[in-house]
Amino acid sequence: MSDLHTEIAIVGAGPAGLAAALAVCEHGRAACLIDDNPKPGGQIWRAGLTAGSRSATNREAWLTNPAIPAELTARLARVEGLRVLPAARVVATQNAGSLLLEDASQARYLHYQKLIVASGARELLLPFPGWTLPGVTGAGGLQALVKQGLDVSGKRIVLAGSGPLLLASAATLRAAGAQVLLIAEQAASRQLAGFVWSLRHWPAKLAQAARLRWALRGVPYRAGSHVLAALGKERLQSVRLQQGQHVRELACDWLGVGFGLVPNTELLQALGCALQDGSAKVDALLQCSQPNVFAVGEACGIGGVDKALLEGRMAGLAAAGQVEAAQALIPARAHQLRFAAQLAHHFSLDPAIRQLADAQTLVCRCEDVRHGDLLAYNNWREAKLQTRCGMGACQGRICGAACATLYGWPVTGSRPPIQPTRLGSLLQLETTEAPSS
């Protein structure tokens, strides 16, 4: 299959990538937008079944996703120079300026002059006894399953972990007919009160939080509360929770647990871009340490949809040569970064969360490596070499962040493939000499 060429490649069609594509194309430049989902929207605007799951390379059909604000899709439908590659994922980089893409039928190169990485974030999943039982998922993961058709009507669900995503997930589950028994937030009530007080500087977010609480009226939201174990034989039957000084057990059908978000930086690392505190290190215009590479949205720091939209727009403008217009948005970004700092501060993890796993608890689910097996090692590399932790199908995307949190091992470096890939695609990587752009 022949190679593709574009002026500006954008990886990720969540809020950040969509905003970047709009800014690029509204300023007369050509962009190619790649996402591994069949529909755009990313995590927050994940397309439901009504949007149709069939991938469409026709841009208008692809944009049919009622979860995305209508004004954004209408503007994206009008621009010229935007090519979309749905259900395609970036699996590797070759030379600077070339990405290896894989879709259901083929692997091919995309050569670009500039790259905007809007790869988003995933949940931080931390091991605790029973966390691998069927019926236990991430909190946002369960939300995603429901958006894509899992029937939870009448099911008893407990959500646990940390951060605003617990409330957003609970609202989706309740609207889908689930019985949300409890939201267990590990942050203490004084942390939560501090967070709510800080929201006076972001009135729209305060209003959003109030709307969520209203939608969840009657659902207990317990601060200073965390999961201790998921219990059941073949499947989840109940959850054991620490609530203040008390331990209680609650029978349930599903348990969704997430301790916040982790930026997806594998592609950035493969490109040699520097990281800072686990996300892309960027300058005031979102440029990474490698030339012609920008990082936006959750990939350059967890801060929610408004930050993602703004950063996408800024990087799109900068990449399209509209530097002054991008610079004019720097103060607005500073305001969003202050919100991101509040999030990180008020939802910081209670040290008890790092002690939930016992010696038998699996940390690496792909390679069956237990907490007890890992205690003998001093760093991620040693642990990988000796136990195969992080060497399985997910390539450390889950257990890498868990090890960083549990043992303080920074997970650095990323090697191909960035995501699970067909062998044929990797062969292409080894045998093709990609031309420089």
Ligand X SMILES: Cc1cc2nc3c(=O)[nH]c(=O)nc-3n(C[C@H](O)[C@H](O)[C@H](O)COP(=O)(O)OP(=O)(O)OC[C@H]3O[C@@H](n4cnc5c(N)ncnc54)[C@H](O)[C@@H]3O)c2cc1C
Which parts of this chain interact with ligand X (CB under 6 A)?
11-17, 34-37, 42-44, 89-90, 118-123, 140-141, 143-144, 165, 168, 261, 264, 267, 297-298, 304-305, 308, 418-419
CB 128, min distance to ligand X, A: 19
Cβ within 8 Å of residue 301, ≥6 positions away: 263, 277, 279, 280, 307, 337, 340
Closer residue to ligand X, CB minimum distance, 211 or 248: 211
CB 407, min distance to ligand X, A: 23
CB 122, min distance to ligand X, A: 5
Paired with 369 in beta bridges are 364
- Per residue, what are the HEC states of 264-277? CCHHHHHCCCCEEC
Q: Are 164 and 213 in contact (CB under 8 A)?
A: no
Q: Are 115 and 235 in contact (CB under 8 A)?
A: no
Closer residue to ligand X, CB minimum distance, 159 or 369: 159
Closer residue to ligand X, CB minimum distance, 163 or 390: 163
CB 41, min distance to ligand X, A: 7
Angle at 198 between CA 196 and CA 204, to 5 degrees: 75
Q: For residue 403, what are the CA distances in angstroms to 380, 381, 383?
A: 8, 11, 10
CB 117, min distance to ligand X, A: 8
Closer residue to ligand X, CB minimum distance, 88 or 362: 88
Closer residue to ligand X, CB minimum distance, 198 or 238: 198
Distance separating alpha carbons of residues 382 and 262, to the nearest angstrom: 23
Distance separating alpha carbons of residues 77 and 71, to the nearest angstrom: 10
Closer residue to ligand X, CB minimum distance, 203 or 408: 203
Q: Are 371 and 127 in contact (CB under 8 A)?
A: yes
CB 316, min distance to ligand X, A: 12
Which residue, among 6, 89, 98, has the nearest Cα to 434 in the 3D structure?
98
CB 139, min distance to ligand X, A: 8
The residue with tokens 């069949």 is 38
CB 260, min distance to ligand X, A: 10
CB 370, min distance to ligand X, A: 26
Closer residue to ligand X, CB minimum distance, 90 or 357: 90
The runs of H, that is alpha helices, within 82-138 are none
Residue 250 CB-half CA count within 13 A = 26
Closer residue to ligand X, CB minimum distance, 92 or 369: 92
Distance separating alpha carbons of residues 425 and 148, to the nearest angstrom: 28
Closer residue to ligand X, CB minimum distance, 308 or 320: 308
Distance separating alpha carbons of residues 395 and 297, to the nearest angstrom: 23
